[in-house]
Structures are given as C-alpha cells and as structure tokens.
Amino acid sequence: MTALTLTSQVIITQDIEETLRQLEALRQEERIVKIVKEENFLVEDAKLAIEKAYMASEELTVIIMAAKTFSPVVQNKLLKVIEEPPAKKAFIMVTVSKATILPTIRSRLPIVVLADTKVQEDIGLDLATLSLQSVYDFVQLHKRTDAKTMKPFIERIAKEAMLGGGYDLDENALQLFSHTYKALDMGSPPQFVLNTLLLKLMARKKR
C-alpha cells in the first residue's frame, strides 16, 4: 500500500473523498487549504489556489486541489506556481486519471497512483489491434450507452493507451482525452464522442 505524505505531488485515485480524508489525517503542524470540485477544476479555482499560495504563513501550507478533471488550460495556469512555489508551500493535485496530466506537470511533480480496489472488467476492445472494424463494432456495442456510463470506458481506454506504449501520445493527445470528458459533460452524444476519440487515437498508432 502506498504511504501518503503532505508533500507536493499528483495523486491518482478512484476515491477522491477517501483520499482527502487520509491526507487530512496526516496533518500535524501543517496548515491545509482544500479546493475541491466534484467534476472539473476551473480557471477561477486555479486563481484561488495561486492566491492562497502567495499568502504569507509561518507554518507549511499544503494546498490540496481535487477534481475529476484538470483541463490543460487549468494545468498551464498552475504551472508557474508549481514550478517556482512560494516559501513554505506544497501543492497536491488529486484526480482520477494519470492520462490527463500534462507532461509539463509530470516533470515537476511526482505522481502517486493509489491502487484501485474495484475489479475492472475487460472493456471488450483490444487497443493493440485497433482497426476501423473494431472501432465500428465497439461503437455499435455502445450505441445506447449514456454519458455517465461512458466515462469509465473513456478512462479505461486512456489508461490502456498510456500504459500499452503502442501510441504516440504527446501533449495534444492528452488534451484529446481531456476534451472527450468535457464533450460528455456538455451533452455531446456519447457514441459520437467515443467514435471520434477512437478514430483520432487510431491515427496516433505507432507503425
């Protein structure tokens, strides 16, 4: 089991609420500032985090930012303060997907992946052999899947694409995953979103 600490890092977890509880339980002399959003961490939330970072404090202040998604815009907004943190400040990002964390953030903060206690079933799509036919079949299989149910599939696809190493995934690709979540939140048809993601992913398959 990974031991949590109140130091600057990105924590990937499927249970944000429990992870926040565990972090708070670690507090001794530290001051903890929490900015928690149920879904998306917004630009105004990032501005608030930066504002809190520049407030003078005698003790170590740990700024915990938690949300299911941090858009590339938000991450870039936070980059400077993470790169050059004010004295006695630590930043912890808590989110559900490593795939949506930009390389610039990864290079500055260690990433801790907490074990997912939920058993994940095979999603029924082999990304190693992704083809037009398999994309079509998978989209047809999920033609009645709603947005809420679709999100875990998108998460699994993102994880498997990252871990499999068979795709050229740069910062633009990570933005693609982030935009996919946003499209589902904004009401785009889940099947269209899934089809678009898989076709764009297939275009990035290593030859």
Q: What is the pLDDT of residues 68-91, one digit of tens each?
A: 999 999 999 999 999 999 999 999
Report residue 122: phi and psi, to 5°: -60, 130
pLDDT for residue 195: 92
> Is the pLDDT assigned to residue 120 strictly greater than 50?
no
> Is the pLDDT assigned to residue 58 strictly greater than 90?
no
pLDDT for residue 116: 57
Interatomic CA distance for residues 152 and 154, integer angstroms: 5
Joined tokens for residue 37: 């959003």
Interatomic CA distance for residues 8 and 110, integer angstroms: 8
pLDDT for residue 179: 84
Interatomic CA distance for residues 188 and 49, integer angstroms: 30
pLDDT for residue 2: 64
Q: What's the average model confidence in pLDDT over 129-143? A: 89
Largest CA distance in the chain: 61
Minimal CA–CA distance to 62: which of 3, 106, 12, 4? 4
Distance of CA 21 to the CA centre of its chain: 19
Query: C-alpha dihedral over 73, 78, 82, 84, to 10 degrees?
Result: 110
pTM for this predicted structure: 0.61
Domains in the chain, ordered, with CATH? 9-113 (3.40.50.300), 127-203 (no CATH)
> Is the pLDDT assigned to residue 119 strictly greater than 70?
no
Report residue 62: phi and psi, to 5°: -105, 115
